[in-house]
Amino acid sequence: MEDKYEKNILTKNRLDKLSKQLINSNTPSSINLLQKYKVSKSHILKGVHCSNCSHIPMQRKRGKWNCPICEQQSTDAHIATLKDYALLIEPIITNQKARVFLQIESPTVSNRILTSEGFPASGGNKDRKYHLIFNK
């Protein structure tokens, strides 16, 4: 893509403005799946699930997700879990909510996961919100 489209059409400033506008005008789907299927939020299992045997939760060790049942390892198993969060709960997440939903003890680790996925963020350091927008 970068080779094909070499010329910058928009300035960085204009691009930043445009991306902020897009984030602000993004209206979450009005379908409330939990309501639709009469499922309570408290019934949603928390934690990252194993793509091999479906066990929840996988455990995070040295930068990898490990399944205690089938021993499958993954570096990006949290993405499916964050997609579930966006669809079932809301498309915006804080570090603290991510830590609880992904079942990670360390706030530093969950913060690292959210920032490394490159989710657009808004708000100050204390109330930073990550917009769960997925490219694939």
Q: Which residues bind Zn ion (CB under 5 A)?
A: 50, 52-53, 55, 67, 69-70, 72
Tokens 């690292």 — which residue? 112
Cβ closer to Zn ion: 49 or 129?
49
- Which CB, 50 or 132, lies closer to Zn ion? 50
Give me 108's structure tokens. Answer: 């530093």
What b/e sequence results for 93-109 when a residue is b if at least 16 CB atoms lie within 10 Å of its CB, and e otherwise? bbbebbbebbbbeeeee
Pick the closer one to Zn ion by CB: 52 or 111: 52
Number of H helices, E strands in the chain: 5, 6
- Interstrand relation of 92-94 and 129-131 (parallel, antiparallel or unpaired): antiparallel
**Least distance in Å: CB of 103 to Zn ion?**
15
Cβ proximity to Zn ion: between 72 and 103 the closer is 72
| Smallest separation, CB 35 to Zn ion (Å) | 31
What's the CA gap between 102 and 81, in Å, rounded?
7
The nearest distance, CB 99 to Zn ion, in angstroms, is 22
Tell me the C-alpha distance between 91 and 132, whole Å. Answer: 5
Cβ at position 49, least distance to Zn ion in Å = 8
- Shortest approach of Zn ion to residue 90 CB, angstroms? 28
Instruction: Kindly tell me which of 33 and 53 has the beta carbon lying closer to Zn ion.
Output: 53
